[in-house]
Amino acid sequence: MNPKIVIDSREYSKTPQIYRGLEKLGAKLLIDTLQYGDYYVHGKYLVERKTSVNFAGSLKSGQIWRQLQGLKSSETTQPLLLIEGSLSLVEKFSMMNPKSLLAALISISDDWRVPVFFVPSRKWSVIFLYQLGTRCLVEGEKIHPVSFKPKAETPTEMKRRIVEALPMIGAKQALNLLTYFGTVRNIVNASAEELRRVKGIGRKKAEIIYRILNEKF
């Protein structure tokens, strides 16, 4: 019996090679639209796959935190993050500080409780997904669409989400702003000079935030 894997239609359009690789190994495949994640493996694992460079980009934009929150909103699956390619490429092509990259990876594993796996190439991604599926083979099991339950946000998460909506603000900067000012109201009422005092908020960013918060509609 071979593992059953649902592949998100957007992921398939970007990397059909993984589909073909899994097909050659004998996996039973279904292309569908997944609300979160790229691969739904045998009714148990929900996998978000990123190249190392794309992972760095998602950190800069803050997208990775929204995706992780989505992955964890499913009560019936185990979320996994699969990173394909060397981290040295991140340093070469994205100019991202290795300390920031590693701090984020530690947070994903420790704070978010999402296992992170590294593979060197697309070929290895195919093998990883297939092997993952073989761990949970159950005779007669059918593939069902994964369902998500909206996660009840805590007051802290709500505040952080509000602040993250500000221009050029990611999860880390939002937390720094809330820690420094204490409340969302204090952030909104702060001057550009006060905003600049927060770690990670430079002059340009402070001026843009101040202007957006104070300009008339």
160 is written with which tokens? 């952080």
Query: What's the pLDDT at 141?
Result: 55
Task: Quick: pLDDT tens for 90-101.
Answer: 877 777 788 888
Number of Cβ within 10 Å of residue 155's Cβ equals: 7
Pick among 3.30.40.230, 3.40.50.10130, 3.40.640.10, 3.30.1300.10: CATH of 4-134: 3.40.50.10130
Indicate where the chain has its CATH 3.40.50.10130 domain(s): 4-134
pTM of the model: 0.67
Number of Cβ within 10 Å of residue 79's Cβ equals: 22
Task: Quick: pLDDT tens for 161-193.
Answer: 788 888 888 778 888 899 999 999 999 999 999
Query: What's the pLDDT at 139?
Result: 45
Which ranges of the chain have pLDDT less than 70?
Answer: 137-153, 217
Contact between 25 and 132 under an 8 Å Cβ cutoff? The reply is: no
Architecture of domain 155-214: Orthogonal Bundle (1.10)
Query: What's the pLDDT at 151?
Result: 58
* Interacting residues of 36 by C-beta distance below 8 A, sequence separation 6+: 46, 48, 67, 70, 71, 73, 74, 148
Query: What's the pLDDT at 96?
Result: 77
List the one residue out of 12, 202, 21, 197 whose CA is nearest residue 121. Answer: 21
Indicate where the chain has its CATH 1.10.150.20 domain(s): 155-214
199 is written with which tokens? 């770690």
62 is written with which tokens? 């803050």
